[in-house]
Each structure stands twice: as C-alpha cells, then as structure tokens.
Structure 1
Amino acid sequence: MRFVIDGDGSPVKNEVIVLGAKFHVPVVIVTSVDHFTTKEYPEFVSFIYVDKGADRADYRIIQELLPDDWVITQDYGLASLVLGKKARVFHHSGKEYTLENIDELLTQRFIGAQMRKAKKRTKGPKPFTQENREHFTQVMTERLEARI
C-alpha cells in the first residue's frame, strides 16, 4: 500500500506525509514540473514530476497505480479512473469515492461545467481550514486503523 497524492493544489500533502510516517506507508506525490521543490522530505516520500498540461498528472497516477494504493485527489474524473483500477480513492475532505457515489459526482461536475459555459454563476469551494485538515486526518486515521 502507498498513498498517491494528486499533488497539484492538494491542500493535505503534509497531513498525508504525517499519516505515512505514523502508519509506515510510503507516499508518492505526482505533480507538474511547475511545482518542483528542493525542500527536504523524509525518505519514504517520493515525487514524480510530469510535464505541464491538462491531465498529465492524472494519467501518470493511473500508469503508476497499484491495486492496494490509496489515492488522494479532488478530481472526480481521476477518481473514476482509480476506481476502475481497484484502488481506493479519497477527497481531501476525507470522503471516499466509491462505485456507489461516483456517477452522481460526475453528473454534478458536468452540470457545473454546463452552467459555467452558459455564463451562469457557480460557487467555488470554500477555503480549506485547519478544522478541515484535522477532520481529514481523523477520518484517514480511523480508516488506516481499521485496515490493520
């Protein structure tokens, strides 16, 4: 098992790294070269850098994915592909994407895109708070403990 993070814009990278250390789970962060870093990370954290471009990180995640991996993403399209690979996939809210909820989420995404295309106003996501981070960590800790 590994954590695989869709790294472009993920607000929970640090929380996943802490969970990886606590539960001895390797962390792979897939991100665009635009987000290249020289920051020091623990040995169990690795990066895969992809070229700029829409969905490049998503395709690389699917290419690298193993059935026991846990993917962290806010991208419903990527989540649907991950489910097809028999891996688990989570939103940074802690909610797990499943075969039971992915169709509804993709439909919501489509309707939102249609509204934006028609120049109708849609709400964006609320700012990610410390409380959101703590909730994510709590939910993921419970899931990891249940796995042991």
Structure 2
Amino acid sequence: MKLFIDGDGSPVKEETIALAQMYHLPVVIVTSIDHYTTKEYPEFVTFVYVDKGADSADYRIVGLTHPGDILVTQDYGLASLVLSKEVRVLHQLGTEYTLETIETLLEQRYFSAKLRKAGQRTKGPKAFTLEDRMRFKTSLETIIIEQVGERP
C-alpha cells in the first residue's frame, strides 16, 4: 500500500507524510514540473514530476495506483478514475470519495462549469482552516488503520 498525493497545490502534504512515517508507508507525490522542489524530504517520500498540462498528473496517478492504495486529491475527475481501481480517495477537507457519492459531485462540478461559462459567478472554495487540517488528519488515519489493520 502506498499513499499518493495529487501534489499541485495540496495543503496537506506534511500531514500525509507525518502519518505515513508513523505507519511506515511510502508516499508518492505526483506534481507538475512547474512545482519542482529542492526541499529535503524523508527517504520514503518520492516525487514523480510530469510535464505541464491540465491532466498530466492525473493520468500518471491513474497509471501508478493499485488496489489498496490511498490517494489524496481535491479533483473529482481523478477520484472517479481511481475509485474503479479500488483505491481509497480522500479530499483535503477529510471527506472520502466513494462510488456512491462521486456521480453527484461530478454533476455539481458540471453544472457549476456550465454556469461559469454562461457568465454567472459561482462560489469558490472557503479558506483552508486548522479545523479542516485536523479533520483531514483524523480521516486519513482512520483509512490507514482500516487498510493496515492496526495502530503502530
């Protein structure tokens, strides 16, 4: 089992890495070459850099993930692609995407895009809070425990 992070703009990289270290799990951060970093990370964290392009990271993540892996992303489209591979998918706000909920989320995204295209304004995301960060950590740890079967 590996933890994957859709790395472009993810605010929960550090929380994911900290939990992965506790549970001795590898982390793969997939991100655009535009976000190349020289920051030092632990050995169990690897980066996969992809070319610029709207869906380059998404396609790479789809190709790299396997059943039992966990993906952290806020991208509904990407979530829908890997759910069918039996990958657990968690939003940065701590909500787990499921086969039962993803269709509704994709429909909401479609209608919002349609409204924006027609010139109407839609709400953007709220500011990421400490409570959001804590909810994410709790949800991720719950999923990890369900996958590995125990606490360290």
After TM superposition, the score normalised by the length of structure 1 is 0.97
Specify the alignment match of 1:56 in structure 2.
56
Superposed displacement of residue 138, structure 1: 1.4
Amino acid at match of 1:15: E
> After the TM superposition, which residues 1-148 of structure 1 pair with which residues of structure 2 at under 5 Å, given as runs?
1-147=1-147, 148=149
CA distance in 2, matches of 1:37, 1:113: 32
Report the 3-state secondary structure (helix = DSSP H, G, I; strand = E; otherwise coil) of the residue aligned with 2:83. Answer: helix
- Structure 1, residues 26-58: CA drift from partner, whole Å, max 9, x if none? 100000000000110001000000000110000
Give the alignment's Cα RMSD to 1 decimal.
Answer: 0.9
* Identity level (%): 59
Q: Report deviation, 1:85.
A: 1.4
Q: Which portions of structure 1, spanning 4 or more consecutive aligned residues, are displaced by more than 3 angstroms?
A: none
Structure 1 alignment gaps of length 5 or more: none
Q: Please give the per-residue CA displacement for 1:90-140, whole angstroms capped at 9, x wherever unaligned.
A: 111111111100000000000000000001010000011122111111122
In structure 2, stretches of 5+ residues that fail to align are none
Q: Structure 1 stretch 40-49 or stretch 60-69: which is displaced more? A: 60-69
Secondary structure of 1:101's counterpart equals: helix
- Aligned to 1:38, the other structure's residue is in SS state coil
